[in-house]
Amino acid sequence: YINEFSIRIELYHRMGEAIQPEDLREILDEIKDRFGPPPPPVVWLYHMNRIRAFAAANHFSALKFDQGTLFVEKQKGKEVEKKSIPLPKEIISPDSLEIYVIQVLKDFDAKIHKIV
């Protein structure tokens, strides 16, 4: 898709370092402008980075996707709250995965902040 190795690495690196969803959108728009519609792996990378940015902004200490399960960790005082969350079994689009995971993270965050 992006033939020049150094440009490809630079763009993917920028995407991986972006903190704000708007920054990720700008990078994806730049990729589209320069190289045309992105292939599915680039779209997945974009949405996974949006999940990462949300998790970082909300102080999650770990997120791991493994065999249809999302493992989540968040520090609460001296405790580390952990949860394993099954992902939907049907194949879903990258944007629907992003929406699902962010909602799950919001729900988890709300739950651990209610625990006294």
pLDDT tens digit sequence for 35-81: 999 999 999 999 999 999 999 999 999 999 998 999 999 988 888 99
Spatial CA neighbour of 57 closest among 109, 12, 93: 109
Q: Quick one: pLDDT at residue 115?
A: 55
Question: pTM of the prediction?
Answer: 0.86
**5-114 maps to CATH 3.90.850.10:** no
Measure the N-to-C terminal CA separation of the chain; round to a whole number of Å: 51
8 A C-beta contact, residue 73 and residue 81: yes
Beta partners for 86? 69
Burial code (b: 16+ CB inside 10 Å, e: under 16) for 70-105 equals: bebebeeeeeebeeeeebeeeeeebeebbebbeebb
Look over the chain and give the mean of its residue pLDDT values, rounded to a whole number.
Answer: 91
* Higher-confidence position of 66 and 112: 66
Domain boundaries, the chain: 5-114
